[in-house]
Amino acid sequence: MRSFELSLPRREGAVGIGPAALEFTTSGEFSVPKQLQEAGLAGYEPETVACFLAVLEHARAGAVLDIGANVGLYGLLAAARSHRPVFSFEPTPDLAETARNLAASNDLTMEVVQLAVSNHSGSAPLKLSANSDASNSLAAGFRPEFGRVQVEVDTLSHWRERAGAIPAVLKIDTETTEPDVIAGGLEVLRRFRPWVFCEVLPDRGVEERLMALLEPLDYSWHHLGDDPPCPRRNVIDGRGAGSHERMWLFAPTPPRDELWELTCGWRRALKACEA
């Protein structure tokens, strides 16, 4: 087992909300808790985490959906630093159970949905990665496998209709099937115009499919490896101009200066959250 305290940032000038830290107790084998224990939140996707926290303050009222949640870190952050409804989607059974336990043990309101979000409904084999539990995917051949588990699959649009949620912020990290998530949620993006954080891995055909889906929706694309303000890009490139950061912001309206100022404030706050 792995047990540690994860310090959370507080932006200067922000209204105080939520705990100063999260208590993590998880399997010692899980990769995300291992990274968090070694580097703290300051060393875990800080560009994305800072912008995510800024968008929680900036976006209109509505729910946060963390699709491909693993142990639920982004959902836990949303529950700890906002009053928004939070839904974390994770199909891997032991990871979903860990996310539920972390929310309960930290007294945070976060609903864990044990579901793989894609462009169809039914069931499918989830490929369990031999490299890392963070690389489990519906995509065949993405990583060397050590096993498979049959999981429930549904589209974002179908789930939203059943749940009655009004999405305002999405985070999508499903190991190369992100275009399938978008394709199954086009009605959600058209109707509710959520802010979308999306991982884009290179050399997997993801970029072209995302651009084809998003261009008719009039979203702007911003690589989060850039220093704020992150400029609008004409092309979605998984290589991210050489940056290690693979996350992109797909914005329903051109981001205003206020958003980038909030992002800078959260980046400064994150520097205090080392291991």
By residue range, what is the domain housing residue 113? 2-270
> How far, in whole angstroms, is CA 249 from its chain's centroid?
11
- Reply yes or no on whether the pLDDT at 162 is more than 60: yes
- Reply yes or no on whether the pLDDT at 241 is more than 60: no
Q: Model confidence over 84-121: pLDDT tens digits?
A: 999 999 999 999 999 999 999 999 999 999 999 999 99
pTM more than 0.95: yes
Query: Residue 16's pLDDT band (boundaries 50, 70, 90)?
Result: confident
Instruction: Residue 52: count other Cβ atoms within 10 Å of its Cβ.
Output: 25
Query: Residue 17's pLDDT band (boundaries 50, 70, 90)?
Result: confident
- Class of residue 87 by CB neighbours under 10 A (exposed 0-12, middle 13-18, buried 19+): buried
Percent of the chain with pLDDT over 70: 99
Residue closest to 129 by CA, chosen among 150, 151, 149, 146: 146
Residue 109 belongs to a domain with what CATH number? 3.40.50.150
In a domain, 52, yes or no: yes
In a domain, 90, yes or no: yes
- Reply yes or no on whether the pLDDT at 275 is more than 90: no
In a domain, 275, yes or no: no
In a domain, 44, yes or no: yes
Mean pLDDT within 179-200 = 98
In a domain, 55, yes or no: yes
Average pLDDT, the chain: 96
- Reply yes or no on whether the pLDDT at 244 is more than 80: no
Q: Model confidence over 60-78: pLDDT tens digits?
A: 999 999 999 999 999 999 9
Radius of gyration of the chain (CA): 17
In a domain, 202, yes or no: yes
Query: Residue 255's pLDDT band (boundaries 50, 70, 90)?
Result: very high
Mean pLDDT within 41-48 = 96
pLDDT at residue number 240:
66
pLDDT at residue number 243:
60
Domain count of the fold of the chain: 1
pLDDT at residue number 87:
98
CA triplet 164, 170, 174: central angle to 5 degrees?
110
Mean pLDDT within 182-199 = 98
